[in-house]
Amino acid sequence: MLDYAALNALAAVVREGSFERAARALHVTPSAVSQRVKLLEERTGGALLVRGQPCIATEAGQQLCRHIERVGMLEHELREALPALGMGGRSGEGAERVTVRVAVNADSLASWFMAAAAAFARQEESALLDLTVDDQDHTAERLRSGAVLAAVTALAQPVAGCNSEALGAMHYVAAASPEFVERYFAKGVGARTLAHAPSLVFDRKDRLQARWVRRICHRSIETPRHWLPSAQGFVEAARAGMGWGMLPASMAADAMRTGALVELVPGSALQVPLYWQQARAAPQLLERLKAAVRAAAASGAHALR
């Protein structure tokens, strides 16, 4: 039989990043957490953690964390079906709440997804969300590795063992301030001017600007880049004349209406279809999260079309 107190300790260290924070979360001493993880490693015959700042699970540690996470969801369902069991866990160490890990792209989180998260949190008082932000082209990798149980992704093809459901598409416009356009694109938008004008890029995974440039110029162009990993900051930086970027149409709409932002090439918006993927044999808790996501996507017509 597995030692679930030890599994809870391992999962807490991975979730919190250190033995000290895990101990506070579990209401025990750091030495108790360390001892439980050590005993679990002795039983499994290998390292489960890479000790550091933060502590990171090894592949074997990830498998055990996924197991205890799913067990927590199953116990959550059992407590709902049999209220007489109460809200206490096996040892009272945090088992009264279950954490659901989800990967979502930054633009969705800054626009429509927060409504889904808030609705789920109101409905499920005994559940907590652990949201991981990644590029929409890469969130599926976190699902594939088991780091999360569900993801908002641009990948339509279901990850092995998962279902995929279309949510709609985010529209992105290439935009900048009028002053920026006058300074860098007075002679038009083309390969020469794009190679000179600073662009805004979210992070090293963000390929939207490159995709748009390739569409306009029919070839790849190296553009000067400001790296700016903030969805809201992206729009503000464009308004301030820092550079041009691919902005979510819903987030740039007000500035476009007032003229604070202008589209570089009218009618050249990019559409990025988004999908919800989750484990096929999902616990009911995850199904209720999917319902909240589906509802938010349907009502967030300003963000998803």
Q: Which residues of 222-239 are buried (b: 16+ CB within 10 A; e: fewer)?
A: ebeeeebeebeebbebbb
d(CA 200, CA 239): 12
Whether the CB-CB separation of 133 and 106 falls below 8 Å is answered with: yes
Q: Which of 127-131, 250-254, 299-303 has the lowest mean pLDDT?
A: 299-303
Which runs of consecutive H residues, i.e. helices, occur in 146-221?
Answer: 178-184, 191-194, 208-217
Which among 198, 180, 167 has a CA at the least distance from the CA of 293? 167
Residue 95 has what pLDDT? 44
**Upper half-sphere CA count for residue 107 (Cβ side, 13 Å):** 30
Angle between helices 30-44 and 59-81 (to 10 degrees): 110
- Output the CA–CA distances (angstroms, integers) from residue 43 to 31, 50, 57, 71, 89, in the order listed: 18, 17, 16, 20, 23
Selected residue with higher pLDDT from 305 and 276: 276
Q: Is the pLDDT of residue 135 over 60?
A: yes
| Chain-centroid distance, C-alpha 132 | 4
| Contact (Cβ atoms closer than 8 angstroms) between residue 220 and residue 246 | no
Is residue 94 pLDDT above 50, yes or no? no
pLDDT tens column, 262-274: 999 999 999 999 9
pLDDT tens profile 153-201? 999 999 988 999 999 999 999 999 999 999 999 999 999 999 999 999 9
**Per-residue pLDDT at 74:** 81
Q: Is the pLDDT of residue 35 over 90?
A: yes
- Asked if residue 294 has pLDDT above 80, the reply is yes
- Report, as an integer, the average pLDDT of 128-140: 92
Rounded to two decimals, the pTM is 0.80
Instruction: State the Cα–Cα distance between residues 132 and 108, nearest whole angstrom.
Output: 12
Sequence letter at residue 90: R
Q: How far is CA 61 from CA 31, 105, 242, in A?
A: 19, 26, 44
Helices (H) and strands (E) in the chain, counts: 13, 11
Interatomic CA distance for residues 301 and 46, integer angstroms: 50
